[in-house]
Amino acid sequence: MRSLLDYFQDMISPPNHRVQVVHSKDIDNSEWAARSLYGLIVIGSISELQADTLFIALKPGAHLVCIPESELDVASVIACEDRGFEVRDAIFNATELSSFFYTSKASKKERELGLVSETTDTRANTHPTVKPIAIMEFMLRDIQPNALVVDPFMGSGTTGCAAVRRNLNFIGIEKEAVYAEIAQKRIDAHKDIDLIPKGYKK
C-alpha cells in the first residue's frame, strides 16, 4: 500500500525541485535552516522547533501544506501560526467520507464581531491565533445542550462563541486581561445569555 508521502510526491507534476514533500520526522533543524524553498508538503505533526526552522527555510510568500497523520492535529496548526505563518485553510476528515469537514480561516467580520463596527478598518482583536468558530462548533457537535464546556486557555474566546451558539454553558479562563476582555465581548455578540451556569460563582 502506498504511503501518504509517496502519494503527494507523485502529485507534484512536473517535478519541481523547489517544492518538496517530506515526513516531519525527517526535518533536521540544522540542515533545513539553510534551504530556500518555494513550497513544502509535510506529512506528520510539526513541533514548535520545526515550525521555526521551516519559517526560515521557506521563501517569503511560499506555501506550507501540513498533512497530519492523526485526526485533529490542532497543535501543528498552532505551532505554525504562532511562529508567523498565516493559516489560510483547515480540512478535517475524521474516519469516514461523511465526516469530511472544511472551514476557511476566520474572516475579519467573524474576528471583530462585538469589538468594532463593520464599517471600520481598525483591528480590535489583537490575539495572534484567532480560530474559526466553525472548527470549534464542529468539535462540540456531540455535546448535549446545556452541558458545561470549560476552556482553560480561552485566548480570544472562539470556543466560547461556538459554545453559546450551540446552546452550551461556558467557562473560560485566560491569564491575559486584554484577551479576556476581547473574548467576553465576542461571546456576548454571539448570544446574549448568562454564560455562568447556575451553581457556579463568577
Summarize pLDDT for 11-67 with one digit per residue, the tens: 555 455 667 788 888 887 667 766 777 888 888 888 888 898 889 888 888 888 888
**pLDDT greater at residue 23 or residue 151:** 151
What kind and span of H or E run contains 74?
helix 74-83
Percent of the chain with pLDDT over 90: 19
Local confidence band at 199 (pLDDT 50, 70, 90 cut-offs): very low
Whether residue 201 is predicted with pLDDT greater than 60 in this model: the reply is: no
**pLDDT greater at residue 197 or residue 47:** 47
Give the number of other Cβ atoms within 10 Å of residue 186's Cβ. 25
CA gap 18, 63 in Å, rounded = 11
Find out if CATH 3.40.50.150 is the number for domain 107-202. yes
Phi, psi of 171 (to 5 degrees): -125, 125
Q: 15: Cβ–Cβ under 8 A, 6 or more apart, which residues?
A: none
Tell me the pLDDT tens digit for each residue of 93-138: 555 555 555 667 788 888 888 887 766 777 888 887 888 888 888 8
**What's the pLDDT score for residue 101?**
59
CA gap 61, 193 in Å, rounded = 43
Local confidence band at 141 (pLDDT 50, 70, 90 cut-offs): confident
CA gap 34, 197 in Å, rounded = 53
Local confidence band at 196 (pLDDT 50, 70, 90 cut-offs): very low
CA gap 176, 154 in Å, rounded = 10
Whether residue 71 is predicted with pLDDT greater than 70 in this model: the reply is: no
Buried (b) or exposed (e) across 121-149, using 16+ Cβ within 10 A?
eeeebebeebbbbbbbbbbbeeeeeeeeb
Whether residue 177 is predicted with pLDDT greater than 90 in this model: the reply is: yes
Whether residue 164 is predicted with pLDDT greater than 70 in this model: the reply is: yes
Question: DSSP letter string over 157-170?
Answer: -HHHHHHHHTT-EE
Query: Can you give the length of the chain in residues?
Result: 202
CA-based R_g, the chain, Å: 19
What kind and span of H or E run contains 56?
helix 48-57
Triad 173, 177, 182: Cα angle to 5°: 85
Residue ranges, CATH 3.40.50.150, the chain: 107-202
